[in-house]
Chains A and B, each alone.
Chain A
């Protein structure tokens, strides 16, 4: 390139000159290092805006268990029986969680302590997700290089570093399983593709270990154990079976399955649950296929082989069907679980399992959130598929299948956009990289001018078309224009990602922020206020009843026993709480007495306009309660199918426990200028029952913005 100019330099300087290959390596490594840092740094918005703290609901449980693990050691953690949750049942924590995240954080903490860096375990937990997101970029680079070339790998790393779909679950403080699981997922896939490409046992073993880490971290491993057999099946059907595939899949399956069984929460599911049977079926199918292949090779005779094929196939199919039939009929192989069904049939949960349907992240995805989370990747994705089909290999088939299946799942459930994000980034990276490469070669061949190949740019389908046709006039100018357009699009992507991260995905949701009248930021820190009040002012063995959303936070921050929490393992128990909340006060009192409840906690947004409060969740409590106790009927709380809290509301609604607890003394309060007292700012109405009297409970504490209200359950009256 610029060698002519450099040749004229004096000899000592010339020896410092790098060869083109070395230059390329230098550029690549420094770009990758920058991407690594960027992926970490962009996730720190939440720490800057608020403070270094754990977000949302589930992370508080993870934080609490990590704390326990680092204080008491692994063996006690593994055998931990937690009596502070699910009172009076308790929970066997060690056997009912995915320990991968906690172990990772505890190990990182120990490592930092060993390096004599005195950090608190909380900081480690807060920064675990960004750290693993940064590592994911490295895996994405390696994966991209494996399926396409190093340029595509670099683009993939850059895209995934800032992809909002991934950032939404991995900002600093969102200390959840997904944070490490996406890294593990991509690592497993990369190592598996690598194993298929090389046919080496060592890579297959590495991929089994990746799978083990994934199983230990997140329930989403079911996606891997179903995608890999599907991939093998597709290769078999399209006639791309190779012995490399045999080595990779079998080694990975046997060792991966065995390793996965070591996680107690997963246990024997790999041989018992219907969700894992596809993998086993394909395993046996591969053995049969291999055996047939081998016999065919030995016989070298078509007629004989055909008769052989007939005999074996009949036997195998009969035996397989019999085994599956007996296994299912005798209940040895368990049927698919509800969450799995709701993946295949999106309407299943709505009709059958209210507890799954009630979680907002289990809802089907809207188009706008696809656009919001993927931005230009949504357009690059089909282009990338086109490039993949043009250069079909085992690796590109894999990434295409990963992309298509995960896109489907992303459409079914909002939270699964996360699983699709790496695939979309990889495929888009192929499109971007290939297009830019075409354009730049076009420019360089014509002008011979030094033009650095930039791998960090993107293009559109139109750009690809322009590059293919060599004989057009103004071809070079057109290429430059298209290249500029690609750079423009890419920079828009970067701007969009930064904006989304800072505005939408960095809120901890435990501290709320709003704009005041004069445009300044108002912080509502009511949750922590309430939890610290619980910690300081209630007896240590007090039992708190609340809707299950707040269970983890109460145990982690308030350090008090709860009746139900976010680990929704016992539907009946949750339904009991739902029933108590939707009954009249005297009926609820009996239920609360039977559960030894001392305090009731409700979340109320009527003063601040915080819309995800208990009144808005109330219908789910009714539905879940009614699912187990038919006394609770949803129509009792509705008026002509409409949910209202004003004067027109149904009498049952106006007098149920939840309504009373939320609106107690609310009738005296003027919330907005020019509105009557008792004006609910979330629902936008004046409440229907302003004269609320409590007989069995008394108000214990209400936070400064009324978001959390705590009531004390009075002891039973003296016998008179």
Chain B
């Protein structure tokens, strides 16, 4: 399998090179997303070890992470300068929407955590 490994190596190299060109604000959002997903995974692992007994607590924990990640990805799509679909949308409006959605998300999560 030497070809496959070299393929994978080449893949990772070119991906890293391409990603380095991304603007900083997008990189920050990416970091936020990665962090949220990592938290979600940790919770899944924890659930696997301890069990999912207060199921609503587990669900609210994991949905909080997934929701955060998804909303952040949406924000990333909307503020990306290269994106032609959202040229008319000012970044301020996108951010306001993002904050609003997060507010709703976490208010509901707080209610559900119980």
Task: Mark A residues whose CB is within 8 Å of B.
Answer: 199-202, 204-205, 208, 242-244, 246-247, 250-251, 254-255, 257-259, 261-262, 268, 271, 290, 295, 298-301, 304, 307-308, 311
A254-B97 contact in complex given A200-B89, A201-B71, C-beta closer than 8 Å: no
- Kindly list the 8 A-B residue pairs having the minimum CB-CB distance in the complex, ordered from nearest: A201-B97, A298-B18, A247-B74, A254-B67, A202-B97, A250-B70, A243-B77, A307-B7
Q: Does B11 count as interface, using CB distance less than 8 angstroms?
A: yes
Please name 28 pairs of A and B residues whose Cβ atoms are closer than 8 Å in the assembled complex, sorted by A: A199-B89, A201-B100, A204-B101, A205-B97, A205-B100, A242-B85, A243-B77, A243-B83, A246-B73, A250-B70, A251-B70, A251-B74, A254-B71, A255-B108, A258-B63, A259-B108, A261-B56, A262-B112, A295-B15, A298-B15, A298-B19, A299-B11, A299-B14, A299-B15, A299-B18, A300-B18, A304-B11, A304-B14
Asked if A262 and B111 sit within 8 Å, CB to CB, the answer is yes
Q: Enumerate chain A residues within 8 angstroms of B19, measured Cβ to Cβ.
A: 298
Residue of A nearest to B62 (CB): A271
Asked if A268 and B67 sit within 8 Å, CB to CB, the answer is no
Asked if A255 and B105 sit within 8 Å, CB to CB, the answer is yes
Size category, B interface: 35 or more
Asked if B85 and A246 sit within 8 Å, CB to CB, the answer is no
Asked if A261 and B59 sit within 8 Å, CB to CB, the answer is yes
Q: Enumerate chain A residues within 8 angstroms of B83, measured Cβ to Cβ.
A: 243
Asked if B77 and A255 sit within 8 Å, CB to CB, the answer is no
Known: A199-B89, A258-B60. 20 other contacts (CB 8 A): A199-B77, A199-B85, A201-B71, A201-B75, A201-B94, A242-B85, A246-B74, A251-B101, A254-B63, A254-B67, A254-B71, A255-B101, A255-B108, A257-B63, A261-B56, A261-B112, A262-B108, A299-B11, A304-B10, A307-B8
Shortest CB distance B52–A (Å): 10
- Complex CA gap A577/B18 in Å reads 72
Q: Enumerate chain B residues within 8 angstroms of A259, measured Cβ to Cβ.
A: 108
- Complex CA gap A271/B11 in Å reads 36
Contact with A along B40-80 (1 / 0, CB 8 A): 00000000000000011001100100110011011101100
- Complex CA gap A311/B10 in Å reads 14
Q: Enumerate chain A residues within 8 angstroms of B85, measured Cβ to Cβ.
A: 199, 242-244
Asked if B108 and A205 sit within 8 Å, CB to CB, the answer is no
- Complex CA gap A255/B98 in Å reads 13
Q: Enumerate chain A residues within 8 angstroms of B94, measured Cβ to Cβ.
A: 201
- Complex CA gap A271/B73 in Å reads 22
A205-B112 contact in complex given A298-B15, A299-B18, C-beta closer than 8 Å: no
A205-B86 contact in complex given A250-B74, A258-B108, C-beta closer than 8 Å: no
- Complex CA gap A246/B109 in Å reads 23
- Complex CA gap A298/B15 in Å reads 7
- Complex CA gap A75/B90 in Å reads 43
Shortest CB distance B45–A (Å): 15
Q: Does B104 count as interface, using CB distance less than 8 angstroms?
A: yes
Shortest CB distance A257–B (Å): 7
- Complex CA gap A299/B13 in Å reads 10
Residue of B nearest to A267 (CB): B56
Per a CB cutoff under 8 Å, which of B14, B55, B74, B111 touches A201?
Answer: B74
Q: Enumerate chain A residues within 8 angstroms of B8, measured Cβ to Cβ.
A: 307, 311
- Complex CA gap A308/B13 in Å reads 13
- Complex CA gap A250/B105 in Å reads 13
Per a CB cutoff under 8 Å, which of A202, A258, A295 touches B112?
Answer: A258
Q: Enumerate chain B residues within 8 angstroms of A254, measured Cβ to Cβ.
A: 63, 66-67, 70-71, 105
Asked if A308 and B112 sit within 8 Å, CB to CB, the answer is no
Q: Enumerate chain B residues within 8 angstroms of A250, measured Cβ to Cβ.
A: 70, 73-74
- Complex CA gap A657/B71 in Å reads 63
Q: Enumerate chain A residues within 8 angstroms of B15, measured Cβ to Cβ.
A: 295, 298-299
Q: Enumerate chain A residues within 8 angstroms of B104, measured Cβ to Cβ.
A: 205, 208, 255
- Complex CA gap A304/B19 in Å reads 15
Q: Enumerate chain A residues within 8 angstroms of B86, measured Cβ to Cβ.
A: 199, 243
Residue of A nearest to B86 (CB): A199
Q: Enumerate chain B residues within 8 angstroms of A242, measured Cβ to Cβ.
A: 85
Q: Enumerate chain B residues within 8 angstroms of A243, measured Cβ to Cβ.
A: 77, 83, 85-86
- Complex CA gap A307/B55 in Å reads 39
Q: Enumerate chain B residues within 8 angstroms of A271, measured Cβ to Cβ.
A: 59
Shortest CB distance B37–A (Å): 10
Q: Enumerate chain A residues within 8 angstroms of B89, measured Cβ to Cβ.
A: 199-200
Shortest CB distance A322–B (Å): 14
Shortest CB distance B78–A (Å): 7
- Complex CA gap A379/B83 in Å reads 43
Per a CB cutoff under 8 Å, which of A202, A244, A255, A307 touches B67?
Answer: A255
Shortest CB distance B12–A (Å): 10
